[in-house]
């Protein structure tokens, strides 16, 4: 089994290739934008929003979560820039509720739509602002009641609090004498 340092070294080599391709694509986009300077401004805008978080999994290996609008395509050694940003999201499970926190700067709260699936296990967030679009589907650790959900949006951070659905008992409990 490879050590943590061997695994981390392999991870860093993969990221070096990723960032080299990212830099090449930015240079290509800048050249393209310079050649289309006569186009309307709305067609020339392109945002690069990328980040990653590294944690150590229960098996001791690094776990990487990526977010933003830059995607690595596993089938080819290229990256692509998409219009929709996949925001950074944290899911915190407590005894009676689940809290989902998403980093979504640059949109108004009226432009954000939040949905819970019929089974109460998936939260979907969509936002369409003037300059930015966000989309995130979050698999929840427990079923929740969408009727009791609360959401706040302050300083570019969306917080959604969802109450867990109580487990229904089967039939009636029988006391033992």
Number of structural domains found in the chain: 2
Q: Considering the domain boundaries, does residue 172 fall inside one?
A: no
Provide the pLDDT for residue 44: 46
Last residue of a domain, one of 85, 112, 128: 85
* Pick from 65, 61, 66, 89: nearest CA to 79: 66
Is there a single domain that holds both residue 77 and residue 106? no
Q: Along the 177 residues of the chain, how does pLDDT read in single tens digits? A: 678 788 888 888 887 877 777 777 777 766 665 555 555 555 545 566 677 777 777 887 777 777 776 766 666 666 677 778 888 899 999 989 999 999 999 899 999 999 999 999 999 999 998 888 999 999 999 999 999 999 999 999 999 999 998 765 556 667 787
Is there a single domain that holds both residue 81 and residue 91? no
* Pick from 21, 87, 17: nearest CA to 49: 87
The torsion defined by the Cα of 70, 30, 78 and 40, in degrees rounded to 10, comes to 60
């Amino acid at each position: 089994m490879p050590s943590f340092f061997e695994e981390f070294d392999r991870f860093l080599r993969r990221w070096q290739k990723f960032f080299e391709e990212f830099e090449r694509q930015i240079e290509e986009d800048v050249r393209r934008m310079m050649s289309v300077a006569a186009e309307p401004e709305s067609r020339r805008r392109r945002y690069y929003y990328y980040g990653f978080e590294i944690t150590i999994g229960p098996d001791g290996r690094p776990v990487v979560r990526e977010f933003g609008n830059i995607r690595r395509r596993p089938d080819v050694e290229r990256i692509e820039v998409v219009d929709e940003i996949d925001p950074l999201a944290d899911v915190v499970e407590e005894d009676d509720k689940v809290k989902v926190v998403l980093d979504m700067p640059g949109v108004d709260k009226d432009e954000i739509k939040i949905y819970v699936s019929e089974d109460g296990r998936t939260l979907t967030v969509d936002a369409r602002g003037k300059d930015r679009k966000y989309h995130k589907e979050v698999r929840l650790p427990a079923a929740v009641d969408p009727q009791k959900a609360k959401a706040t949006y302050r300083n570019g951070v969306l917080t959604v609090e969802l109450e867990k659905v109580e487990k229904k008992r089967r039939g009636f409990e029988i006391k033992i004498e």
